Amino acid sequence: MTEPLILSADPPPGTRLFVTGGANGIGRAVADAYAARGAKVCILDRVVVADAPKEWICLEGSVASAADTERAFKEMDRAWGGVDVAHANAGMSQNKPTLELTEAEWREVLDVNLTGVFLTAQAAGRRMVAQGSGLILATSSIYGLTAAPERIAYTATKGAVSQIVRTLASEWGPAGVRVNGIAPGYVQTAMVEALIQQGRLDRAPLMARTSLRRFGRPADIAGMACFLASPAASWINGAVLPVDGGWMANGGP
Q: Which of 34, 143, 154, 186 is catalytic?
A: 154
Give how far Cα 188 sits from Cα of 72, 76, 150, 247, 249, Å. Answer: 28, 31, 21, 14, 20
CA dihedral 83, 141, 59, 122 (to 10 degrees): 50
CA–CA distance, 29 with 223 (Å, rounded to integer): 9
Report, in angstroms and rounded to the nearest whole number, the Rg of the chain calculated over CA atoms. 18
Give the pairing of strands 134-139 and 85-88.
parallel
Beta strands in the chain (DSSP E): 16-20, 40-45, 57-60, 85-88, 134-139, 177-184, 240-243
Torsions phi, psi for 49 (to 5 deg):
-95, 90
Cα separation, 29 vs 168, whole angstroms: 25
Residue type, 71: R
Question: What are the beta bridge partners of residue 88?
Answer: 138
Q: Is 34 a catalytic residue?
A: no
Determine the Cα–Cα distance for residues 183 and 28; give it in Å rounded to an integer. Answer: 17
135 in Cβ contact with 229 (< 8 Å): yes
Active site residues: 154
